[in-house]
Structure 1
Amino acid sequence: MALVAILIANEARPAITDAVLTEARAVLATGHRPRILHGTVAAEIPVPGALAAAPALTERLRTALAGEPIDVSLLPADRHRRKRLFLADMDSTMIEQECIDELAETIGLKQQVSAITERAMRGEIAFEPALRERVALLKDLSAGVAAALIRDRLTLTPGGRTLVRTMKRHGAHTCLVSGGFTLFTGPIAATLGFDAHHANRLGLADGRLTGTVEDPIVGRPEKRVTLIELRTRLGLDPAETLAVGDGANDLDMLAEAGLGVAFRAKPAVAAAADARVEHGDLSALLYLQGFTASEFVG
């Protein structure tokens, strides 16, 4: 199976120079010419070889370019490279915050809740009991706070809207799937243009949080199940699916996807994913699929 090496920088720090491409070709021992995806921001290089060689080649290339702000991935250059199903985590992926931490800040508990969130995202503690513990601290908080946070505090991760709209324009089904809450995923999914969203439902009574979360919990297993159910409903090959996330509760979803991408992720997630993005924005996921910038939908 032929491979393709993808080099991705950030629009704010373009770094894919001729010198970088020359060095990459030498490390990869390929005579193939690079294909420029976007100026000095993204390029790809065809690489002969078997898929089994990809991990070692990837590490060699990352080592060679370690001083540059460049993400490196080696992926199969097959007919399913452009995906037809896209699932994305929300917190610290499609948006730059953790919603539960922002809710906690409104009642002066952000430090306490953030510490639990960090441990759960690193996989140090189980997601479900950690979620219930944090939600219990939010009892009696007005549900209307969510709308105010979306308006005033939450920020979309750069490249996210372009990623979703471009994939939809090219026929993909898109779903925001989160261990967070529907109070946030509904508006965020609509803003970004997702076809659907799936998240936890907080208990409500008289417009206030009850400190509970409804079953079943959308955590690590449920994210994977969501991908499988959508893939089956759409009649897709497993290779035609893409997922992105940053935390331990995304691991099963990323493993199930044809292409699982760790986006500015915790170390265990970055190590397990098919590709990882540290420098680029979310449009990097389009370059991984071979899109050029001229094909992007803003």
Structure 2
Amino acid sequence: MTSDFVPCVATFIAPDANTELLPTLRAAQSLLPKAGAPTWLDPERAADIFFEADLNDLASLRDTLMSRRSRDAGIDIVVQPSGGRRKRLFLADMDSTMIGQECIDELADFAGLKPRVSAITERAMRGELAFEPALRERVSLLKGLPLGVVDEVIGTRITMTPGGTALVRTMQAHGAYCCLVSGGFTLFTSPIAARIGFDEHRGNILLSENGQLSGEVAEPILGRAAKLQTLVELRDRFGLAPHETLAVGDGANDLAMIGEAGLGVAFRAKPAVAAAAAAQIDHNDLTALLFAQGYPRSSFAPEGQTAA
């Protein structure tokens, strides 16, 4: 091995047991330099192939591995250095990442304004609008909604993304600290973080008067810069190296923290986010982030239960 080459790993993750991984694995062995035999993390869904490569070549190797066959089969592939795979700090976006919805869009539905607000949300998440003014505009449209609508949205509209609880609690069982950091609102991040099991949560504060939303959000707004700041702050608090961190999100306001993390993951993300991230998960649930860290299926904490 030359001094320019380091041990690396490519992780192949299928969405279900019906997806045939072996053809993709065999093709990968012929493409990856000094590739070993597959190491199975889940006999039906996930496997590692260890190899050696120049770090500058990892992005192009990932693109090569993401052949049409892999995309058509719905196989996600994460390529990274093999050292330090298991992360000690995890930051996650909430809307359309840890949950399946955009909370502000669901609130807007109660005001009969969901199409209008959703259009603004979509443009902001694609990076076509600056996040902070777009949030202020959307919140202003919610003026007069009763606070009780929040509980109704949480109870009837919000669904947890599969694999989220297993992801958080498995990482915690192995010493990681987990933070839910959202450009959404603390009225949502608080109960959702508690349900999933995060160590802490951060979000924006919706202001209210006389039991109704005032149409304003507290300043300063937690957006792209604040998410990055949270990662750096927590990393420094725990004395961690940059490579010991993991961040996941789907929108443009997640780009800074995704770029700073040791492993930054775009989860079912907008095109610009997927293109910029070191890793992307398009076909699997959130347990893909455990496979990416080298956790075998047998070590996963059950959904909804605290890991031993």
Same fold per superposition (TM over 0.5) = yes
Deviations 1:111-166 (A, max 9, x none): 00000000000000100000000000000111111111111110000110110110
Find the residue that maps to 1:218 and give its secondary structure. coil
Task: Indicate if the aligned counterparts of 2:70 and 2:76 stay in contact, CA closer than 8 A.
Answer: no
Select the residue among 213, 223, 227 that pairs with 1:223.
227
How many residues matched?
296
Residue 210 of structure 2 is matched in structure 1 by: 206
Deviations 1:232-261 (A, max 9, x none): 111111111100000000000101111100
Distance in 2 (CA, whole Å) between partners of 1:34 and 1:47 is 10
| Divergent runs of 4+, >6 A | none
Select the residue among 7, 27, 42 that pairs with 1:2.
7
Residue 174 of structure 2 is matched in structure 1 by: 170
Q: Say whether 1:77 aligns with 2:98.
A: no
Distance in 2 (CA, whole Å) between partners of 1:127 and 1:195 is 26
Deviations 1:196-238 (A, max 9, x none): 0000001111221100000110100000001111111111111
Residue 305 of structure 2 is matched in structure 1 by: none
Pairwise CA RMSD of aligned residues?
A: 1.1
Task: Indicate if the aligned counterparts of 1:227 and 1:253 stay in contact, CA closer than 8 A.
Answer: yes
Select the residue among 25, 38, 44 that pairs with 1:21.
25
User: How far 1:9 moved relative to its partner?
Assistant: 1.2
Residue 135 of structure 2 is matched in structure 1 by: 131
List alignment gaps of at least 5 residues for structure 1. Answer: none
Q: Say whether 1:65 aligns with 2:65.
A: no
User: How far 1:26 moved relative to its partner?
Assistant: 1.4
Distance in 2 (CA, whole Å) between partners of 1:112 and 1:191 is 30
Find the residue that maps to 2:246 and give its secondary structure. strand
Select the residue among 111, 114, 121 that pairs with 1:117.
121
Identity percentage of aligned residues: 57
Residue 151 of structure 1 is matched in structure 2 by: 155
User: How far 1:10 moved relative to its partner?
Assistant: 1.1
Residue 107 of structure 1 is matched in structure 2 by: 111
Find the residue that maps to 2:153 and give its secondary structure. helix
Deviates more, 1:109-118 or 1:49-58: 49-58
User: How far 1:16 moved relative to its partner?
Assistant: 4.5
User: How far 1:171 moved relative to its partner?
Assistant: 0.6
User: How far 1:30 moved relative to its partner?
Assistant: 3.8
User: How far 1:19 moved relative to its partner?
Assistant: 2.5
- Mark the CA change 1:107 to 1:65 in structure 2 (over 3 Å): closer, same or farther: same
Task: Indicate if the aligned counterparts of 2:14 and 2:21 stay in contact, CA closer than 8 A.
Answer: no
Matched to 1:125, the amino acid is: L
